[in-house]
Amino acid sequence: METMNRRQQLEQRIIEKAIKDEQFRERLMTSPNETIEQELGVKLPASLRINVLEEKPNSFYLVIPMATRELSDEELTEAELSNVAGGYGSAPSDDTQCGSNDINGICV
């Protein structure tokens, strides 16, 4: 069985806390960005939009990953280059790479 990556571990941690802690669950539903920032101790980019949905007995949510760019001869845009170069987050204090310890380009 494949081990979870850092993002999956963080998502699992947040979900487990929301199941156990009703106040946390309510804050997560009403203010997801701020609640996750507090829980993880990081500042998320203002442009990052987090949607939290609560499943009900008669509902099911399917999350489709973002579309990836087809391999082509096109050059990357300035914004894409910035993201590849770590445009969202900052390097850890010891100047090591985040590796798999990131969420949408943010070192955690």
pLDDT digits (tens, 9 = 90+) for 52-105: 999 999 999 998 888 776 555 566 677 666 666 554 444 444 444 555 555 655
Banded model confidence at residue 1, pLDDT cuts 50, 70, 90: very low
CA angle 60, 61, 66 (to 5 degrees): 160
Which amino acid does the sequence have at 26? Answer: E
| Domain ranges, ordered by start, for the chain | 6-61+80-107
Residues 6+ apart with CB under 8 A from 102: 6, 7, 89, 108
Six token digits for residue 90: 């900052």
Six token digits for residue 21: 């802690």
Q: What are residue 107's DSSP bridge partners? A: 102
Backbone angles phi, psi at 102, to 5 degrees: -140, 155
